[in-house]
Amino acid sequence: MADVAAHLGVSRQLVSLVLADRPGPSAATRERVLRAAEELGYRADTAAQLLRRARSRQVGVLFTMEHPMDADLVEALYPEAARLGYGVALSAMLANRTERQAIDELVGLRCEALVLIGMSAQAPEDLARVAERVPVVEIGQRTNAAGTDSVRTDAVSGVRRAVDHLVALGHRRIAHVFGGDLPSAPERRTGYLEGMRAHGLGTYVDLVPGAYTEEAGARAASVLLDRSELPTAVVCCNDQSARGLMETLIRAGRSVPGEVSVVGYDDSRAARLSFLSLTSVRQDVTRIAELTLGAVAERLEEGRTESTHVLLPTTLTVRESTAPPRT
């Protein structure tokens, strides 16, 4: 700002008013200052601004780099944070970087709240200690750690809806590639079991171990291909798993949905790709972002102290990966 002021022969305070878009300077003066700032390549020193503020108004977001759904959620958080007057600081959890390290980094950056996306290795009591320092909102899971909030989708009813869809098409031998103990995976497994039993198909229950990766979906497909008879439909624990399963089946000469109908979960961008056209349980990432940052604002601006846990409904997006079974 001093360089811009010296270039124009005006005070630094005047430049500060213009760049902060505060009242006082005339329209002509604003235009001169902004043009000079552009010519000189002025960029605001965000770190210095944060140090001068009593509050940082930064929300830290911890995410993994394994799942496309995480990236979709991060993208949805940015505009909602801006609308509420917050900045976003990202910290990724990697194989060689623990969640504890990622959280400590965000707190060290003076983040006023933390949003945790995806898997959490934190024990509830450890997460509760973090929540004593800053508000914590979990997306996609609920650890019940004291003092935390959560925003999730109703995975049980979501997968039940997927089973209902397949049964309505005429399927009976429906398998489920489940995600073990990953966030939301137990609920998705429960939805599958409830759906099968509700339709009197308990004897057809077929659980295949998996995870939220394409590699896990490919392994599940190999397990099914080793059998003498394939199921006529498979509900996968997420879209990545479904993609790996579909590609492996097709490479083995099996047709989707001709021989096997496939349903995913998340309705991610991959599900909408023309060569997949995957039927999938949809999570509304925009709404998740709105509720997550709404919970943050309630804590920071309104002083809410009690925990809130939101369970959002899901919908089923039907595409070309599901069809009636062959007769």
| In contact, 223 and 250? CB cutoff 8 Å | no
pLDDT value at residue 238: 95
Is residue 273 within 8 Å of residue 92, measured between CB atoms? no
* pLDDT per position as a tens digit, 288-310: 999 999 999 999 999 999 999 99
Packing angle, helices 239-251 and 214-225, rounded to 10: 40
Query: Going from the N-terminus, what domains does the chain have, and what CATH number goes with each?
Result: 2-44 (1.10.260.40), 56-153+284-313 (3.40.50.2300), 155-283 (3.40.50.2300)
Q: Long-range pairs for 75-78 at CB < 8 Å and ≥24 separation?
A: 75/285, 76/285, 76/286, 76/288, 76/289, 77/115, 77/289, 77/292, 77/293
Tokens of 194: 């409830």
Q: Please choose, from the candidates 204, 203, 169, 209, the residue with its C-alpha nearest in 3D space to the C-alpha of residue 189.
A: 209
pLDDT tens profile 125-171 = 788 888 998 999 999 888 888 999 999 999 999 999 999 999 999 99
Query: What's the CA gap between 82 and 288, in Å, rounded?
Result: 15
Model pLDDT, residue 122 = 58
In this prediction, residue 316 carries a pLDDT of: 97
CA–CA separation, 46 vs 292, rounded Å?
24
DSSP 8-state secondary structure symbol assigned to residue 275: T
Is-contact 279 243, C-beta < 8 A?
A: no
The order of strands in the sheet holding 315-317 is 206-209, 174-178, 233-236, 261-266, 279-282, 315-317
CA distance 279 to 291: 26
pLDDT tens-digit profile, the chain (327 residues): 888 889 889 888 888 888 877 788 888 888 888 888 888 877 665 555 444 445 778 999 998 877 778 889 999 999 999 999 999 999 887 777 777 788 888 888 889 999 999 765 556 778 888 899 899 999 988 888 899 999 999 999 999 999 999 999 999 999 999 999 888 999 999 999 999 999 999 999 999 999 999 999 999 999 999 999 999 999 999 999 999 999 999 999 999 999 999 999 999 988 999 999 999 999 999 999 999 999 999 999 999 999 999 999 999 999 999 999 987
pTM (2 d.p.): 0.79
